[in-house]
Amino acid sequence: MNDTPGIEVADLTVAYRNGHTALKDAAFTVPQGSVTALVGVNGAGKSTLFKALMDLLPHAAGHVRILGLPVRKALSQNLVAYVPQAEEVDWTFPVLVEDVVMMGRYGHMGFLRRARPADRQAVTDALSRVGLTEFRRRQIGELSGGQKKRVFLARALAQEARVILLDEPFTGVDVQTEQTIITLLRQMRDEGRVMLVSTHDLGAVPEYCDRVVLVKGTVLASGPTATTFTPDNLRLAFGGTLRHFMLGGTDLHDDADRRAVDVFTDDERPLVFYDDRHRKAVPGTDDRP
């Protein structure tokens, strides 16, 4: 690992063919060996940013570098992998779990896409790492939501991607699978990889993300979670869409404790901040079973 940023986005503007500018002058940097949350309201531009990083949308202005390389070069070197949202995949397509993971090897194969022993070994290793070895001969459509997510993570591992874009990896996933995925993300971070994770689960962000990028038509703020994932920045990014209230005094304590908490919630996944002396989001304070 060197000091080259994992992802570098500078003054990026992205417009759709109908003329709608979804991102304007967006800028942020993500170091190698990090897990970064990408958060913002519906329509803020998270998927647009992913598409720009995957070269699926032209850049009207600005530039993107991945591990110091222009996007196309990074893609041609198999450095970038995308873990899609469940809705983007046709689960009725008859394909085995191991075949999906083998797709991660295509970029390493020749024109005829003939799998060599090294490719088969990479698939076996990746499936073992995500705990799906016994599911390798199943049709992908027969798996649970959480298992499907892990198949796509295995595909990214088999690809030996260094930068992995994860679109809502925890949607529809139970708490145990969420923990399995978080453990994997941490291991991959420790291997020097870059994970950019779009998520609406704000309560879990401080638990597993080193850094945060807040978007709303542009990048409002980015940096280490402790200094960026703050009530002020969240108000900027989510103002009006999340309920925000403070609890203190007798609403919170039955003694003279003067501490207060800041709560941001969409009524499903609250994010709780303790008072100024503890301006650090507290993970695990949500109300899931």
Interface residues toward ligand ATP, by CB under 6 A: 16, 18, 20, 22, 40, 42-48
Q: Which is nearer to ligand ATP, 9 or 158 (CB)?
A: 9
Q: Which is nearer to ligand ATP, 47 or 159 (CB)?
A: 47
Q: Report residue 274 as tokens.
A: 């303790």
Neighbours of 218 (CB within 10 A): 18
CB of 18 to ligand ATP, least distance (A): 5
d(CA 59, CA 191): 30
Total residues belonging to the chain: 289
Q: Which is nearer to ligand ATP, 17 or 277 (CB)?
A: 17
Q: Which is nearer to ligand ATP, 158 or 164 (CB)?
A: 164
Q: Which is nearer to ligand ATP, 40 or 104 (CB)?
A: 40
Rg (CA), the chain: 20
- Select from 194, 180, 190 the least CA-distant residue to 129: 180
Distance between alpha carbon 271 and the CA centroid of its chain, in Å? 18
Q: Which is nearer to ligand ATP, 18 or 176 (CB)?
A: 18
Give CA separation, 188 vs 34, 79, 83, 182, 194, in Å.
9, 14, 14, 10, 8
CB of 21 to ligand ATP, least distance (A): 8
CB of 37 to ligand ATP, least distance (A): 13
CB of 235 to ligand ATP, least distance (A): 18
d(CA 148, CA 127): 12
3-class DSSP state of 273? strand
Report whether 270 contacts 287 (CB < 8 A). yes
CB of 218 to ligand ATP, least distance (A): 11
Which residues touch 242 (CB under 8 Å, ≥6 apart)?
202, 234, 264, 265, 266
CB of 15 to ligand ATP, least distance (A): 9
Report whether 159 contacts 110 (CB < 8 A). no
CB of 78 to ligand ATP, least distance (A): 25
CB of 208 to ligand ATP, least distance (A): 19
Give CA separation, 157 vs 14, 45, 108, 130, 244, in Å.
29, 26, 13, 9, 39
Q: Which is nearer to ligand ATP, 18 or 250 (CB)?
A: 18
d(CA 204, CA 173): 13
Q: What are the backbone dihedrals phi and psi of residue 141, each rounded to the nearest 5 degrees, phi first?
A: -65, -15
Q: Which is nearer to ligand ATP, 177 or 198 (CB)?
A: 198
